[in-house]
């Protein structure tokens, strides 16, 4: 397990923990976390109904979840904006490496993004799922 020291890293680790709980609550089995290669990392590998799900988690702390839920989308930073085409290309390469290394061949899979908004003061969170970010 990684040792996180900065506030940003701790928020990221907390976000991944929340994402895992969210997935398990929705019937997923978490198979692996932080599968890392030189060219990228998959935050979570999960499975549901014989389908593999590769999950990228983007987390951010917010002053209030009410603020996130009630404000217009264009007035707040969206962590998913960091998913640039070059990052998606690298993530696809990590998925392909994972599938080859586990000898999974031609299986059904998808890559999703979970955005975790965390209100540290109230100890609340919200998870937004964006499906199929890599086609």
> pTM for this structure?
0.85
pLDDT digits (tens, 9 = 90+) for 33-87: 999 999 899 999 999 999 999 999 998 887 766 655 555 454 555 666 777 888 8
Q: What would you measure as the largest C-alpha separation in the chain, in angstroms?
A: 46
Within 13 A of 104's CA, how many CA atoms are on the CB side? Answer: 15
| Mean pLDDT taken over the chain | 86
For the chain, list the domains and their CATH numbers: 7-134 (3.40.1350.10)
Q: What is the dihedral of CA 39, 32, 11, 90, to 10 degrees?
A: 20
């Amino acid at each position: 397990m990684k040792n996180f020291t900065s506030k940003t890293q701790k928020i990221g680790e907390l976000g991944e923990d929340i994402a895992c709980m969210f997935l398990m609550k929705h019937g997923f089995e978490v198979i692996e976390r932080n599968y890392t290669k030189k060219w990228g990392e998959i935050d979570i590998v999960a499975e549901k109904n014989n389908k593999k799900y590769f999950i990228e988690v983007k987390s951010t702390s917010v002053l209030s979840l009410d603020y996130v839920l009630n404000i217009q989308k264009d007035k707040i930073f969206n962590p998913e904006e960091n998913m640039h085409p070059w990052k998606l290309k690298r993530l696809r390469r990590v998925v392909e490496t994972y599938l080859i290394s586990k000898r999974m061949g031609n299986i059904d899979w998808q890559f999703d993004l979970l955005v975790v908004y965390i209100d540290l003061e109230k100890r609340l969170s919200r998870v937004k799922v964006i499906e199929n970010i890599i086609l």
